[in-house]
Amino acid sequence: MPDHPLPDRVDRIEDEWRRERPDLDPSPQGVIGRIHRLALALTAQLTPVYETHGLSEAEFDLLASLRRSGAPYELPAGELASHTMVTTGGLTKRVDRLHARGLVERTVSSDDARRRMIRLTEVGRAVIDDAFTAHLANEHRLLGELGAEDAAALEPILRRWLALLDEGDTRAR
């Protein structure tokens, strides 16, 4: 085991690969493996808050995208699909479910009658406002466990890494 104060599952995995494949350097797993496990653990901590408001993670994301767009809390369907990183087909299914519950409505753009808009209803706005308030409280709790100093140190590193990955993703298109 590495000489860490708190060896974890990733340390054991790296050690096993060092034993089985001494010709390879498994050290990237120390960062990437932990980030992957952290993403899964965070999702497991975030989704119950959405569920208490009757929302899936995808539905929360869609309603939050509409809410933060500002009054009148609507976006063209294509733009909403890109905000939520789903296909237009996937978006249609989500919008259908939210529409059936009275949380969103479909309208036609005042600029172009061919353009479909998705708008948050008053009920939808109340749901996302309550859910987002609870979500932020949960995120503050989760970061509080890490501590303000560590959270502040982590943010610029993650921002820079995401920018590098996004830049690489743009070049691949």
16 token code pair: 């096993």
Confidence of residue 3 (pLDDT cuts 50, 70, 90): low
pTM of the predicted protein model: 0.83
Q: Domains along the chain?
A: 1-52 (no CATH), 53-172 (1.10.10.10)
Tens of pLDDT, residue by residue over 121-157, are 999 999 999 999 999 999 999 999 999 999 999 999 9
Contacts of 112 (CB under 8 A, 6+ apart): none
Helices 122-146 + 28-52 axis angle, to 10: 140
Tens of pLDDT, residue by residue over 68-85, are 999 999 999 888 888 887
Please report, for the chain, how many H helices and E strands are present, in that order.
7, 3
- Quote the mean pLDDT of the chain: 90
Count Cβ atoms below 10 Å from residue 143 Cβ, excluding itself. 15
